[in-house]
Amino acid sequence: MSVDNNKLENSNFASLGLAPELLKALEESGYTTPTPIQSQAIPLVLQGRDLMAGAQTGTGKTAAFALPILQKLLPFASSSASPARHPVRALILTPTRELAIQVEESVRTYAKHVPLRSLVVFGGVDIKTQTPTLRTGIEVLVATPGRLLDHVEQRTVQLNQVQILVLDEADRMLDMGFMPDLKRILALLPKQRQNLMFSATFSNDIKRLADDFLTNPILVEVARSNAAAENVEQKIYRVAQHDKHAVLAQILRDNGDSQALVFTKTKLTTARLARQLQREGIAADAIHGDKTQLERMQALEAFKQGKITALIATDVAARGLDIDQLPMVINYELSSAPEDYVHRIGRTGRAGASGIAISLVSPEEEKYLKEIEKLIKREIAKQDAIVPEKEARAPRGSSRASVKEDREEKESKPRGHTARSSSPKKKSGDDWFDKPYVPTGNIPAPDQSGRTSSKPKGEVAALLGGLRRQS
Ligand code: AMP
């Protein structure tokens, strides 16, 4: 069964049946109009239905499950200090730490006027820092699967009163091999519960997972299955692997102060590329699984604050990143999994804004490109990249168009190079790994509970009127 989108036009949050406490928090967040996934999902979750929701990050999917969950838990809110009065009633599982942190931040924002407690637990930080808050009792737990099982083993959490389970970015959880962990967790939950599954793509594995754990689900979708975001302009630049770096650097220069998220296939390439770009005076940093949680959060925060212009990331590290108004995604390398392409370009063009996604494709990667085009059922515009000559690359500001088609237009535009980065690093030593980027600003570190402070919101709210609804 699926939802009739036409009946959901022009809804507002109050008409979705949300409680005044939640409406107040939404108003304070500057949200005036529900996004399509929110209009569709909120009433269904309130009715207690299981959901299979096709929506990627950037569509407002977090509020689509967080708001009705909080509303359903309102009758259980208790001011008692006794942990027994605050059992885990809603469990939200996410594939990555970054997404877990963001989801819990949202839950906390919406629960501002509601006496319900939330907490995020994820790996990569000392488990002991999470235990005291867990012991005080919390109603909404956001967790990555591995760390949740660690807590179960240490008996610091009980899951026998979970009424609602959310699998967020379920496709990525499967990609990351979390199926065995998920099965173990599902076995610990009461059989009688509501299940909500969110996924950007619908592979056969996802459909099987949905069959296994959802009961008579309703399908809600805000984008066609496996479709790439409509408002993202996609381009392919054909270029030999060894020339990719020069072309990337040129694109970044031509892009001026505007920020870009750059995807690579491996942690090693991510680190190397960031270092190379830094040496060339481009404010870049890397985010990948080998960095500590604090380093990852610092790099992400510096990026969000605009202190770095190019964030180089692996798929795993970038999963679920919520960066308002990110104008450009660059695929430095294509992933062998075509679904990753959809996820990657979904980082831009969010909440109705427009974005651009450029993929640098070597001859060896043409096979991946074919798979991607098959998945998104669309051909992407292709052009040959022009590799900047070496001597033309050295002085910053001597921009050469990196792509034939763009040349004339770009050459006539003023460049914004100077404002975008610190001066180039002079030394050639390889101490980059020992000296992670340390921003000068106020970077939130996890406190005892693993919580971070709320991030400032961009102008997303203003853009949501522009969101397109599709069936
Ligand atoms: P999500 O898809 O849940 O990661 O949300 C994407 C972004 O949209 C986040 O920054 C949210 O804070 C924001 N957002 C979610 N719902 C709304 C809404 N109804 N109005 C304005 N902004 C929203």
Burial 112-140 (b: 16+ CB within 10 A, else e): eebebbbbbbbeebeeeebbebbeebbbb
Task: Check pLDDT > 70 for residue 154.
Answer: yes
**pLDDT grade for 157, boundaries at 50, 70 and 90:** very high
Ligand 1 atom closest to the Cα of residue 461 is: 21
Type of residue at 291: K
Q: Note whether 78 and 85 are within 8 A (CB).
A: yes
Q: What is the pLDDT of residue 230?
A: 65
At the top level of CATH, which class does the domain 2-221 belong to? Answer: alpha beta
Task: State the DSSP H helix or E strand holding residue 115, giving kind and residue range, or none if neither.
Answer: none
The domain limits of the chain are 2-221, 232-401
Assign 469 a pLDDT band (cuts: 50, 70, 90): very low
Dihedral sign from CA coordinates of 143, 147, 153, 156: negative
Residue 220 phi/psi, 5-degree rounding, is: -120, 135
Q: Comparing 123-132, 136-145, 164-173, 310-319, which segment has the lowest mean pLDDT?
A: 310-319
> Over 70: is that where the pLDDT of 121 sits?
yes
Determine contact, residues 308/299, Cβ cutoff 8 Å.
yes
Sheet of 328-331: strands edge to edge? 284-287, 310-313, 260-263, 328-331, 355-361, 232-238, 381-384
Q: Is the dihedral of CA 450, 454, 459, 465 positive or negative?
A: positive
Beta-carbon contacts of residue 470 (< 8 Å; ≥ 6 apart): 221, 222, 223, 224, 227, 230
320 lines ligand 1 (CB under 6 A): no
From the CB of residue 393, how many other CB atoms can be counted at a distance below 10 Å? Answer: 18
Answer for the pair 343, 172: CB distance below 8 angstroms, yes or no: yes
In whole angstroms, what separates CA 199 from the centre of its chain? 12
C-beta 157 within 6 A of ligand 1: no
Pairwise CA distance, residues 363 & 114, whole Å:
55
**Alpha-carbon gap, residue 361 to 365, rounded angstroms:** 6
Query: Which residues in 232-277 belong to E strands, given as ranges?
Result: 232-238, 260-263
Contact status, residue 238 vs residue 384, Cβ threshold 8 Å: yes
Pick the range with the lowest mean pLDDT from 66-70, 71-75, 137-141, 379-383. Answer: 379-383
The Cα–Cα gap between 134 and 141 comes to: 9
Confidence of residue 321 (pLDDT cuts 50, 70, 90): low
pLDDT above 90 as % of the chain: 48
Judge whether 433 and 271 are in contact, CB under 8 Å.
yes
Give the E-state strand segments of 2-152 in sequence order.
51-54, 90-93, 118-121, 140-143
What is the 3-class SS of 290-349, one letter each residue? CCCHHHHHHHHHHHHCCCCCEEEECHHHHCCCCCCCCCEEEECCCCCCHHHHHHHHCCCC
Mean pLDDT of 343-356: 72
DSSP element (H, E) containing 370: helix 366-376
**331 half-sphere exposure, CB direction, 13 A CA radius:** 31
Question: 103, 16, 51, 59: which is closest to 222 by C-alpha?
Answer: 59
Alpha-helical segments (H) within 88-188: 97-110, 131-136, 145-153, 170-175, 179-188
pLDDT digits (tens, 9 = 90+) for 177-186: 899 999 999 9
Alpha carbon of 391 to ligand 1 centroid (Å):
45
C-alpha–C-alpha distance, residues 61 and 467, integer Å:
13
pLDDT band (50, 70, 90) for residue 322: low
What is d(CA 32, CA 40) in angstroms, rounded to the nearest whole number?
16
Distance in angstroms (rounded) separating the CA atoms of residues 65 and 42: 7
Is the C-beta atom of 59 inside 6 A of ligand 1?
A: yes
Nearest CA among 385, 97, 355 for reference residue 241: 385
Of ligand 1's atoms, which has the minimum distance to the CA of residue 35?
19
Phi and psi, residue 83, nearest 5°: -55, -30
pLDDT at 13: 93
Q: For a substitution probing ligand 1, which of 27, 198, 464 has the most ligand atoms within 8 Å of its CB?
A: 464
User: Range with the lowest mean pLDDT among 108-112, 231-235, 463-467?
Assistant: 463-467
Atom of ligand 1 nearest to the CA of 322: 4
* Centroid of ligand 1 to alpha carbon of 91 (angstroms): 20
- Rounded (10°) CA dihedral 176, 337, 102, 149: -10
Atom of ligand 1 lying closest to residue 13 CA: 19
Assess if CATH 3.40.50.300 describes domain 232-401.
yes
2-221 matches 232-401 in fold = yes
Give the residue-averaged pLDDT of 263-287.
Answer: 91
Residue 58 CA, ligand 1 centroid: distance in Å: 6
